[in-house]
């Protein structure tokens, strides 16, 4: 018997560190780790010890004889990785234990998402380190709470790891505090030896085409925040009275959005989807979501696990025209000969299997359109369609615009082409890459010199790429850089005590929510969920969260 990693894999490498025979790859030490869709278990090396099962924070690992039918393709996906990746079994390198001096080390972490927590986890291992985590929202966990699709409950299980970190005595929450408003960058620098910015990438990239500002065009960033109950988007108006929605972009977020728009609302009613979104979806007229991608299927930005999952949604047909699956000559040859990277080959194989399926009888469908570029969004008072150009390959195999154009009629368009970080006051920012200038997490100036005591982690550090697991390695790397600098004596000494921060931010209108306050919110949501057979019923009003955090009842919709 061997173990198999399946769809919920978060790439955080917890399983890698406990495997006694190093049969899980890529490891954080391998170049492929930064771009890997998931981790893979070598069936020829696995010794059936089950250590990885216990370590996995999202319950993604199963014995091969326990797989359900929809999980069985992962047997092949795991095995295929080792067909074209030469790895050597054996002991993993160990991280050398570090002994810190007894003098206090105070660190502020701005942001409470995965990268922030993984950095904090590394720091609070040391009893002399005090970590204060700031976030502008009343709730922690960032995109785990507000970005992961509601039907991905297993993936959200990683918050158990974060909760364990937050229980440490040298960890403190200062939630519902906005850095830059309630406390400035300079005031943080005065009170802490080091400040880590891990505030993520909150805005989306633009298409830059005519019609993008029409009513009915929205970003995936806003749509995802809306159905996940982000308090700043709870009041958004999402009109789903049309039959077709076009999503431009084909990453995992695009597939998540398509799945939520097409899944039977009664299935979503068992998740933690926001109640206001569930009400709109129950009245939705959407019967087709068309996903538009500029390049070929070989360059699909989604992971294979999500591509598999969208074909397993009850009552939804996956439609792909064979003509949309054209490949450049080199890729086609490599695929035919078996020399193509297994991840890319699986994308092609799955797409061809979808295209070969007979027309189904489902009343909803998701359509994939590859080699298609939107050039204009049509409409007067509201979007009516997307004009696209059909792409082709030139002699070098590059994708270039063709001569054919057409219109995809649609009543709504979702822009899903990536996230962007925003500048942080007081830190040097690369506008083109949307990152704070840094060297492995140490903030640098325009000249490349380090700015002592300032650090970044997550998407603000490396750009909006990678998921939860990538943020673990990223956050840990930043924390280790900080610790190295502390040992080297290069961190600036605070000129003021951190003990006055609560008083400071309270004087500017904030009421910081601590661990007890967040626990009250969490318990209230879970209790409300139990009565409905759901993981939780999210509060979507920041004021309700503040009230509950203080031990008072929520105001409720009628009292707002």
Could you give the percent of the chain with pLDDT greater than 70?
97
315-325: b or e for each residue (b if 16 or more CB lie within 10 Å)? ebbbbbeeebb
Preceding amide of 338 cis, omega within 30 = no
- Give Cα separations from 405 to 369, 373, 386, 391, 394 (angstroms): 13, 9, 10, 9, 18
Determine the pLDDT at residue 420. 86
- Three-class SS of residue 245? strand
- Three-class SS of residue 365? strand
Determine the pLDDT at residue 558. 40
Per-residue pLDDT of 75-118, as tens digits, reads 999 988 888 787 765 545 555 667 787 789 999 999 999 999 99
Determine the pLDDT at residue 146. 93
How deeply is 206 buried, as exposed, middle or buried, from its count of CB atoms within 10 A (0-12, 13-18, 19+)?
A: exposed
pLDDT reading at 521 higher than 60: yes
Sign of CA dihedral 342, 345, 350, 351: positive
Determine the pLDDT at residue 30. 87
Q: How confident is the model at residue 316 (pLDDT cuts 50, 70, 90)?
A: very high
What is the pLDDT averaged over residues 34-48? 88
Tokens 């979702």 belong to: 414
What is the pLDDT averaged over residues 114-141? 96
- 74: Cα separation from own chain's centroid: 21
- Three-class SS of residue 234? coil
- Give Cα separations from 510 to 177, 230, 554, 556 (angstroms): 6, 19, 18, 21
| DSSP-assigned letter for residue 150 | T
pLDDT reading at 367 higher than 90: yes
pLDDT reading at 180 higher than 90: yes
Lowest mean pLDDT among 8-12, 244-248, 394-398, 529-533: 8-12
Fold of 3-83: Alpha-Beta Plaits (3.30.70)
Per-residue pLDDT of 188-229, as tens digits, reads 999 999 999 998 887 888 999 999 999 999 999 999 999 999
- Separation between Cα atoms, residue 190 and residue 54, nearest integer Å: 42
Say which residues have a Cβ less than 8 Å from residue 333's Cβ, sequence separation at least 6. Answer: none
pLDDT reading at 509 higher than 90: yes
Would you state the CATH architecture of domain 105-202+421-506?
A: 3-Layer(aba) Sandwich (3.40)
Determine the pLDDT at residue 560. 39
What is the pLDDT averaged over residues 456-470? 88
- Separation between Cα atoms, residue 52 and residue 74, nearest integer Å: 16
Domain ranges of the chain: 3-83, 105-202+421-506, 208-417, 515-555
Would you state the CATH architecture of domain 208-417?
A: 3-Layer(bba) Sandwich (3.50)
Determine the pLDDT at residue 556. 62
Tokens standing for residue 528 = 């409300």
Higher pLDDT, 360 or 75: 75
Higher pLDDT, 48 or 461: 461
Tokens standing for residue 159 = 């918050």
Tokens 């190093």 belong to: 22
- Separation between Cα atoms, residue 97 and residue 92, nearest integer Å: 15
Asked if residue 488 lies in contact with residue 505, where contact means CB atoms within 8 angstroms, the answer is no
- 391 forms beta bridges with 401
Question: Of the ranges 48-62, 263-277, 420-434, which is most confident?
Answer: 263-277
Closest by alpha carbon to 140, among 167, 103, 102, 104?
Answer: 167
What is the pLDDT averaged over residues 160-177? 96
**Arithmetic mean of pLDDT over the chain:** 92
Q: How confident is the model at residue 360 (pLDDT cuts 50, 70, 90)?
A: confident
* DSSP state letters, 374-426: EEEEEESSSEEEEEEEEEEE-TTS-EEEEEEEEEEE-SEEEE-S-EE----TT
Determine the pLDDT at residue 97. 65
Per-residue pLDDT of 451-461, as tens digits, reads 999 999 999 99
Tokens 């002994």 belong to: 99
What is the pLDDT averaged over residues 168-181? 97
Determine the pLDDT at residue 65. 85
Helix (H) or strand (E) holding 186: helix 185-191
């Amino acid at each position: 018997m061997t173990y198999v990693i399946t769809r919920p894999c978060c790439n955080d490498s917890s399983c890698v560190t406990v495997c006694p025979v190093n049969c899980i790859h890529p490891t954080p030490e391998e170049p492929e780790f930064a771009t890997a869709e998931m981790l893979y278990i070598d069936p020829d090396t696995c010794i059936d010890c089950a250590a990885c099962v216990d370590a996995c924070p999202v319950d993604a690992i199963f014995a091969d004889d326990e797989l359900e039918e929809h999980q069985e393709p992962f047997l092949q996906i795991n095995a295929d990785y080792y067909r074209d990746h030469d790895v050597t079994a054996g002991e993993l390198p160990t991280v050398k234990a570090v002994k810190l001096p007894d003098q206090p080390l105070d660190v502020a972490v701005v942001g409470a998402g995965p990268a922030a927590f993984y950095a904090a986890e590394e720091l609070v291992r040391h009893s002399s380190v005090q970590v204060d985590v700031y976030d502008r929202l009343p709730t922690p966990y960032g995109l785990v709470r507000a970005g992961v699709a509601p039907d991905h409950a297993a993936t959200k299980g990683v918050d158990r790891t974060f909760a364990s970190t937050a229980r440490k005595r040298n960890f403190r929450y200062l939630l519902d505090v906005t850095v830059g408003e309630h406390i400035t960058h300079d005031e943080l620098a005065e009170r802490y030896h080091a400040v880590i910015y891990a505030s993520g990438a909150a805005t989306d990239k633009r298409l830059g085409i005519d019609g993008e500002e029409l009513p009915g065009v929205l970003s995936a960033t806003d749509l995802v925040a809306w159905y996940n109950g982000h308090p700043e988007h709870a009041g958004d108006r999402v009109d789903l009275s049309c039959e077709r929605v076009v999503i431009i972009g084909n990453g995992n977020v695009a597939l998540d959005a398509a799945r939520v728009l097409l899944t039977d609302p009664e299935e979503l009613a068992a998740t933690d989807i926001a109640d206001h979104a569930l009400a709109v979806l129950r009245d939705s007229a959407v019967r087709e979501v068309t996903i538009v991608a500029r390049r070929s299927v070989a360059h699909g930005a989604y992971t294979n696990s999500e591509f598999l999952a969208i074909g397993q949604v009850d009552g939804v047909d996956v439609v792909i025209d064979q003509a949309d699956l054209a490949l450049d000559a080199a890729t086609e040859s490599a695929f035919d000969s078996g020399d193509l990277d297994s991840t890319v080959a699986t994308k092609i194989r799955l797409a061809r299997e979808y295209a070969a399926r007979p027309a189904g009888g489902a009343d909803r469908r998701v359509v994939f359109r590859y080699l298609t570029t939107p050039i204009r969004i049509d409409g007067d008072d509201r979007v009516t369609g997307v004009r696209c150009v059909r792409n082709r390959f030139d002699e070098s195999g590059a994708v270039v615009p063709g001569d054919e154009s057409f219109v995809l009629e649609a009543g709504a368009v979702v822009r899903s082409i990536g996230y962007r970080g925003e500048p942080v006051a007081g830190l040097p920012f690369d506008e083109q890459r949307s990152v704070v200038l840094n060297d492995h997490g140490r903030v640098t100036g325009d000249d490349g010199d380090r700015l002592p005591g300032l650090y970044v982690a997550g998407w603000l550090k490396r750009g909006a790429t990678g998921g939860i697991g990538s943020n673990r390695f990223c956050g840990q790397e930043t924390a280790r850089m900080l610790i190295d600098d502390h040992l080297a004596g290069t961190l600036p000494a605070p000129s003021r005590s951190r003990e006055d921060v609560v008083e400071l931010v309270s004087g500017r209108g904030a009421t910081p929510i601590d661990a007890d306050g967040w626990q009250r919110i969490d318990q209230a949501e879970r209790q409300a969920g139990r009565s409905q057979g759901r993981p939780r019923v999210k509060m979507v009003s920041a004021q309700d969260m503040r009230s509950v955090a203080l031990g008072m009842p929520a105001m409720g919709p009628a009292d707002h």
